[in-house]
Structure 1
């Protein structure tokens, strides 16, 4: 009887959360999968059931394939660079003899609290071919031959956007690593120093293993974060140009839905992107999994 009462009480406590989650997450996601099977304008017009035709057409759509490739590039490159830098910066701030640690922590974390739209506008000016800091700095250093239209060249635009995403996210993950490093027992480092281990050995043999679970979490956060943030950054900075060179899957989905009134096709894109992100997260989780003895 007590077990039933306890189960009922737990169910009563979590029921409001389950209801809200179902309304605002489960139902919309289910409707995306359902609507992807129809041809629809999304504005109250007739819906025509087409089955998997939207998905079949997707993989013959050159623009979508370009956007998917660009999305995959950002989801692979940005986490590697940003998490590596975050780990290095966190290590320096945690173990380095710096009197201005609090100031550096604030400076590094500041980009993480800015609006994505503000970040996009700010970096658009930084990359501006005539007024931008990048080209002005290259000119000042006597490297005029390297100045270019950074957001207007197919060879540089995606790397330019990747740099913005790295700049925005590194400080956020650095703070997470700092919190983890503060919880590592100092006795471990003292014992390692007595045994003759240098700083690099301590970092690889103590710090990283002790932070491993946090690192795994940040990898998944970073992959999904890039997917969401890149939509805003690309929309503000390049709108997918030049010639779809910076188009990402979510900007193409938005274009199909609201510019072309092709909601069924847009929902099919959403399903593929959702599946793509889940697969990447599962792969990263599997690759970083380790046995705890």
Structure 2
């Protein structure tokens, strides 16, 4: 490659690299740096406390509760979301339903809605007196099951989980459908000739052939819970009742912009970043066997 060509490529890449460094790399470095300080973000001089913010984090009962809630959502949502998406993708791709295009549109539609719209919609569904869910239960004679779903400590996380699963399942379904369409039909034909049932074909052909896509969607889903749950929780419950729906991202936001405790908030941000990276590496390692 001649020098002129190298200079041209460098000139094309330089603006993008500068913008990426300015808006991504530099702020990330600053977050790691400021997490070592006690700082209100209001113009006062930051006070160096070393790892003090991180020590306080694990003595903070509210943070530990938010961490537990986030862990629950990160455990439940990816498993159920990807399972539902995979089953729906397999059915809609392999079945002979005339309404397949309609169902594809219906299942994918929540993925194109704004998170704010989704949060408001499900807030109305869960409303204790006017909500569709409680009204439906009463209509079929199950009024005793009607609950204040977002106001009960026992049900609030499950209610939020259903909302997040409903929003994301269609998105991953489309990814799986694209992968299934790429699988050779001859594999399924040969399996049918050998007497394999639809369930056996799903287990022995569909899942193994989609394994690389599944691995990617696991990482996407885990990290998506962190970002999306912030919006959903902020609008639907604001962390209530009694902090039982608080997640680490809403707690971080509250520490920074409500309590003006930016140093502590950045320490939480660093913790989230490290945990996200570790979870991505762990999920990639645990699912690596399927590619051998």
| Same fold at TM > 0.5 | yes
Instruction: After TM superposition, give the deviation of residue 7 of structure 1 in Å.
Output: 5.6
Higher mean alpha-carbon deviation, 89-98 vs 13-22, is at 13-22
Partner of residue 217, structure 2: 218
- Is residue 263 of structure 1 aligned with residue 265 of structure 2? no
Instruction: After TM superposition, give the deviation of residue 131 of structure 1 in Å.
Output: 0.2
Gapped regions of structure 1 (runs ≥ 5): none
Instruction: After TM superposition, give the deviation of residue 19 of structure 1 in Å.
Output: 2.1
Instruction: After TM superposition, give the deviation of residue 8 of structure 1 in Å.
Output: 5.3
1:149-168 equivalences under 5 Å are 149-168=148-167
Structure 1 residues 11 and 76: CA distance shift in structure 2, 3 A? farther
Task: Give CA deviations for 1:66-96 in whole Å, capped at 9, x if unaligned.
Answer: 0011111111110000000000000000001
Partner of residue 229, structure 1: 228
Structure 1 residues 16 and 290: CA distance shift in structure 2, 3 A? farther
Task: Give CA deviations for 1:161-187 in whole Å, capped at 9, x if unaligned.
Answer: 000000000000000000111111111
TM-score (norm 2): 0.96
Instruction: After TM superposition, give the deviation of residue 292 of structure 1 in Å.
Output: 4.8
Higher mean alpha-carbon deviation, 15-24 vs 33-42, is at 15-24
Q: Structure 1 residue runs of 4+, over 6 Å off? A: 3-6
Instruction: After TM superposition, give the deviation of residue 4 of structure 1 in Å.
Output: 6.4
| CA RMSD, 1 decimal | 1.5
2:208, 2:290 within 8 Å by CA — same for their partners in 1? no
- Is residue 282 of structure 1 aligned with residue 278 of structure 2? no
1:6-155 equivalences under 5 Å are 10-155=9-154
SS in 1 for 2:72: helix
C-alpha distance in 2, partners of 1:3/1:199? 57
Task: Give CA deviations for 1:174-223 in whole Å, capped at 9, x if unaligned.
Answer: 00000111111111111111222221111111111111110011001101
C-alpha distance in 1, partners of 2:207/2:2? 42
Structure 1 residues 10 and 188: CA distance shift in structure 2, 3 A? farther
SS in 1 for 2:288: coil
SS in 1 for 2:289: coil
TM-score (norm 1): 0.96
Structure 1 residues 201 and 6: CA distance shift in structure 2, 3 A? farther
Instruction: After TM superposition, give the deviation of residue 290 of structure 1 in Å.
Output: 2.6
Partner of residue 241, structure 1: 240
Structure 1 residues 161 and 59: CA distance shift in structure 2, 3 A? same
Higher mean alpha-carbon deviation, 7-16 vs 61-70, is at 7-16
2:211, 2:290 within 8 Å by CA — same for their partners in 1? no
Task: Give CA deviations for 1:85-115 in whole Å, capped at 9, x if unaligned.
Answer: 0000000000011111111111101101111
Structure 1 residues 198 and 7: CA distance shift in structure 2, 3 A? farther
C-alpha distance in 1, partners of 2:87/2:165? 14
Task: Give CA deviations for 1:100-156 in whole Å, capped at 9, x if unaligned.
Answer: 111111110110111111111111110000000111111111111111110011110
C-alpha distance in 1, partners of 2:155/2:291? 43
Higher mean alpha-carbon deviation, 247-256 vs 271-280, is at 271-280
C-alpha distance in 2, partners of 1:51/1:179? 49
Higher mean alpha-carbon deviation, 252-261 vs 7-16, is at 7-16
Gapped regions of structure 2 (runs ≥ 5): none
C-alpha distance in 2, partners of 1:68/1:5? 53
C-alpha distance in 2, partners of 1:275/1:269? 10
